[in-house]
A and B are shown apart, each in its own frame.
Chain A
C-alpha cells in the first residue's frame, strides 16, 4: 500500500473520521462542566453530522473502494449514511429536553451517540466481515451504555444489563457464522467470499450451518420473531430518545448489513435462507401486530409496532431484486422520519422519572395541544399506513415489489395484518381526540423539539403527497448497490 492509496483511503473514510473526531472533541469538552454544556455539545454534534453529510455527498460523486477493498463508498452506503445522519440529528434535537426532565444531563451522552453513529456508518460501508463486525460492536457498545443512561432508574439499568447479555449472545452467534464462512472460503472480504462460495455446493451442511448462524445473528439485531424477546423490555427501559435512536438508526444499520450480505454479495445463499425467512417474516408481522394490541405503555407498544415494521422490511428483502431493495430503503427512510416524530411527542409528554409514558397520557391532547396532537395524528396514521401519509407509500412499494415478484399470498397476509395493526395506532388517536382529561398535558415546545417536529412532520407528509423524488433516490441507491 503506497502513500497515495493510503491518502485516498483516509479520504474515503472522511465522514467516519469527522464523526469520531467530533466525538473526541465532545468528550474533552464534557470533562469541564459548565452551564449550557448540553446545548454546546448538541450543537457541536449537529455541526459534525452536517460536515460528515456534506463530505458523504461529495464522496458519492465518484464511488470507490478503500483500504484494499474492505471499505466502500457507493450509492448504497451513501443513502444509508444519510438516513443515519438524519436519525442521529433528530435524536439529538429531542434529547436535550428529555435529559433535562429526567435530570440526567451529562456530556457523555452526545459522545456516545456520535460513537454509535460512527459504528453504524462503518457497518453500512463495510465490505469485509471483520470491518462490519467491528462497526457493529462499536455501535452496540455505545448503545448499551446509552440504554442504561438513567443511572437512578432501575428499569433503565435492567434494560442495559439485558441488552448487554442478549446483544453479546447474538453477536456471538453472528461471529460463529462468520467464522464458519471464513473457514469455507478462506477470506473475510465479501466480494472474494462471494466468488469462492460460487464453487461450494449449496447443499453442503457446513454452508447451511454457517448461513443459519449468520441469519439468526442478523435477525436478532433487527428484532425479528422469534428473536425479538429483548426488544420490548429494552425499548421500554431505555431513555425515550435512545429508544427512538435504536428503533431507527440501529435498525437502519442492521438492515443495511442484511441487504449487503444477503442480496448483494452473498446472494447465492438465497435458497438456503429463503424458506425460513419467509416464515420469520410472517411470524414477525403477526406477533408484532397482535402483541401491540394489548400494551399500555406507549414505548412498549412502539416496540412491538417496530417489530411488526421489521416484518414488512423482511418482506421487501424476500421480494428481492432492485425493486425489493429499493422498497426496503424507502420504507426505512419513511419509518425513520415518522417514528422519530412520534418519539419527539413522547419526549414532550415526559414528566420526569418515567412518568408520562402510559398510553392514557395521550388522552385529551387534542384539546390542550392541538398542534402537537395533529402532528401525532399524522405520525400514527403514517405508521398505520393510511394515505396520504408517507407510511402508505412505504407499505405500498413493498407490496408492489412483492406482487411483482409473485408473492401474492405474502402480500395478502401483510395487508390483513396491517389492518389489525391499525387498531392500536387508532387507539392512541382515539385517546387524543375523543377522551377527556382532567389533567391535560401541559408543556412548552422547546425550539429544538419544534425543529424536530417540523422536519419529521414535513417529511411524513411530503413522502406521502410527493413521493416521486424519494422513490427515485431509493431506486437509484438500490441499483447502485446491486450494480
Chain B
C-alpha cells in the first residue's frame, strides 16, 4: 500500500474542480474540464479497486487526521470490500452524468457543473467516511447541490420537487444526528465508526437509535411509506440528477443500514427484522403495482426503484449470508441499471420532449442501436439470467423464502410484476408500429451517447456472466458483518 492519501485525493479532486469551474470563461471549456476531472477521478477509483486487497475485511487506504479534537470529531477515511464498489459506481456515474448533460444543459452550465462536481466529492466522501460526524456532514451537505440541480435545471414543477426532496431528507437526517449523539453518550464516547461497532449497547438504547437511524435511511432509500418524494424528484430532475439520485443517493440509505444499523445495533436489528421485512415486501409489491400503472416513463422507473430497493432491504434483514450478499450485489447493479435507464430516457426525451410511454412505438426500427441497448437495460432491470440483475435478486429471493414464505412470495410477485411493466415498456416503445410523439424525427445514438452507454453495458454483461471478482472482493467484508451480527458465532 502507498502512503499517498488516495481517498482524500479521490474526494478532493472533484471539490477542487468545483471551486475552479466558476472561474472558467466559456461553456465548452467548462464541460471538457468537468469531464476531465471526473474521468481522472474514475481512473483513480479503478486504481484503488485494482490495488484493493481482497483477502481482508479490514479497512484499507485508511487515513486519520485530527479535525475537531474538542468534540472528538476526526477526519477518518477508509474503505472495505463493500464501500469500494460504491466508490467505483459513484465515480463511474460521475463522468457519465457530465456526458449526459453535454447539450441538454444549456443554461448556466458553470453552475451546473459546479453542483455536479460538488455532489461527486460529497458522495465519494460519504462512502469513505469512518467518522460518524464526518459522514453526517457529507451526507447532509449533499442536499444543497442536489436541491439546486433539481430546482434550477429541472422540469416544469421543479421547485416543488426540489423543496420536497430537501425537506423530506433533512427531516429524516436530523433524527439521525440525534441517534449519533445517543451512541456517543450511550457508551462509545467516540464518533469513530469502527470503535462504535465494538461497543455493546443496552437493548433499549439500541431500539431508540435504530428508530432514529431508520427514519433517515428509510427516507433516503426510500421505503414505503416515506417514498413519495422520489417520483416527484425523479420526474422533475434533469437526466444527470435522476442518474445520481437513482444510481447513488438511494444506495446511501441501504449503505447506512449496512455500515451503522446492522453492526452497531445488532439486537435492535434482529428485533425489528420482521417489521423491516414486512415493509420491504410491501415496497416490492406496492412499488411494482404503482409502476405498472404509470404512463410517464420516468415515473415508472422511479416506482420500479422503490420496488427494487425493497429487494435490497429485504435481503439485508434476512440476516442470511446469501441474502446479504444478494442485497449488496443488487445495490450495485441497481445503480448501474437504473442509472442507464434514466440515461436512455433522457436521451429520447432530448429528441422528443415527451415522457409519455404510449406516444412511442417501434423505436427499434428507427433507432436500432438505441432500441437494442435500451432493451438490454430493461432486461437487466427485469433480472434476466445472464445479465447483472439476476444473481442479486435470486440470492435475495432464496434467502427470503428461508425466512418467511410470505416475504418470499411477495418478492416473487414483485419480480413478476416487474417483468410485466418492464416488458410493457419494451413492447410499447420498441416494438409495433413506428410512432414518436408529434411525429418528430428521432436519430440514433451519437458517439457521446455511446460513450455513456458502453461502460454501463460492460458492467451489465460482466456481472451477469462472471460476477466472481465482485464476490471475491465483497466476501470478507460480508463475512465480517455476519460475525458482528451474531457475536456468538465468533467465539470458538
B489 CB–A CB distance under 8 Å: no
Q: How far is the CB of B145 from chain A (nearest CB, A)?
A: 11
List the count of A-B residue pairs having beta carbons below 8 Å apart. 85
Of the candidates B70, B163, B174, the one whose C-beta lies within 8 Å of that of A430 is: B163
Q: Is the CB of A386 within 8 A of B143?
A: yes
B152 CB–A CB distance under 8 Å: yes
Kindly list chain A residues whose C-beta atoms are within 8 Å of the C-beta of B181. Answer: 399-400, 403, 411
Q: How far is the CB of A200 from chain B (nearest CB, A)?
A: 35
A440 CB–B CB distance under 8 Å: no
Question: Which residue on chain A has the smallest CB distance to residue B137?
Answer: A387
Q: How far is the CB of A437 from chain B (nearest CB, A)?
A: 14
Q: Is the CB of B144 within 8 A of A400?
A: no
The stretch that binds B, out of A184-192, A210-218, A416-424, is A416-424
Q: Is the CB of B141 within 8 A of A433?
A: no
Q: Is the CB of B71 within 8 A of A415?
A: no
B178 CB–A CB distance under 8 Å: yes
Q: Is the CB of A471 within 8 A of B71?
A: yes
The distance in angstroms between the C-alpha atoms of A471 and B73, with both chains bound, is: 12
Beta-carbon contacts of B163-179 to A below 8 Å, as 1s and 0s? Answer: 10011001100110110
A467 CB–B CB distance under 8 Å: yes
Q: Is the CB of A468 within 8 A of B67?
A: yes
Give the interface size class of chain A. Answer: 20 to 34
Kindly list chain A residues whose C-beta atoms are within 8 Å of the C-beta of B184. Answer: 400, 403
B356 CB–A CB distance under 8 Å: no
B38 CB–A CB distance under 8 Å: no
Kindly list chain A residues whose C-beta atoms are within 8 Å of the C-beta of B141. Answer: 386-388
Q: Is the CB of B163 within 8 A of A426?
A: yes
Q: How far is the CB of B294 from chain A (nearest CB, A)?
A: 26
Kindly list chain B residues whose C-beta atoms are within 8 Å of the C-beta of A392. Answer: 137, 140
Q: Is the CB of B69 within 8 A of A387?
A: no
A454 CB–B CB distance under 8 Å: no
Beta-carbon contacts of B156-167 to A below 8 Å, as 1s and 0s? Answer: 001100110011
Main secondary structure of the interface of A (DSSP, over half): helix
Kindly list chain B residues whose C-beta atoms are within 8 Å of the C-beta of A416. Answer: 171, 174-175
Kindly list chain B residues whose C-beta atoms are within 8 Å of the C-beta of A403. Answer: 178, 181-182, 184-185
Kindly list chain A residues whose C-beta atoms are within 8 Å of the C-beta of B143. Answer: 386
Give the interface size class of chain B. Answer: 35 or more
Q: Is the CB of A467 within 8 A of B182?
A: no
Beta-carbon contacts of A446-483 to B below 8 Å, as 1s and 0s? Answer: 00000000000000000000011001100100000000
Question: Which residue on chain A has the smallest CB distance to residue B70?
Answer: A471
The distance in angstroms between the C-alpha atoms of A467 and B137, with both chains bound, is: 13
B147 CB–A CB distance under 8 Å: yes
Of the candidates B67, B70, B136, B185, the one whose C-beta lies within 8 Å of that of A404 is: B185
Q: How far is the CB of B30 from chain A (nearest CB, A)?
A: 14
Kindly list chain A residues whose C-beta atoms are within 8 Å of the C-beta of B163. Answer: 423, 426, 430
Interface residues of B in 113-151 (CB under 8 A from A): 133, 136-138, 140-141, 143-144, 147-148, 151
Kindly list chain A residues whose C-beta atoms are within 8 Å of the C-beta of B138. Answer: 387
Q: Is the CB of B158 within 8 A of A468?
A: no
A230 CB–B CB distance under 8 Å: no
Kindly list chain A residues whose C-beta atoms are within 8 Å of the C-beta of B71. Answer: 396-397, 400, 471
Q: Is the CB of A468 within 8 A of B152?
A: no
Q: Is the CB of B148 within 8 A of A433?
A: yes
Q: How far is the CB of B119 from chain A (nearest CB, A)?
A: 14
The distance in angstroms between the C-alpha atoms of A386 and B166, with both chains bound, is: 11
Told that A370-B22, A423-B167 touch, could you supply 11 new A-B pairs with CB distance under 8 A? A388-B137, A392-B137, A396-B133, A403-B184, A411-B178, A412-B178, A422-B170, A426-B167, A430-B162, A468-B67, A468-B70
Write 18 A-B pairs (CB below 8 A) sorted by A numbering: A393-B68, A399-B177, A400-B71, A403-B178, A403-B185, A411-B181, A412-B175, A412-B178, A416-B175, A426-B166, A426-B167, A430-B151, A430-B163, A433-B148, A433-B152, A434-B152, A468-B68, A471-B70
- Residues of B bordering A, CB below 8 Å: 22, 67-71, 111, 133, 136-138, 140-141, 143-144, 147-148, 151-152, 158-159, 162-163, 166-167, 170-171, 174-175, 177-178, 181-182, 184-185
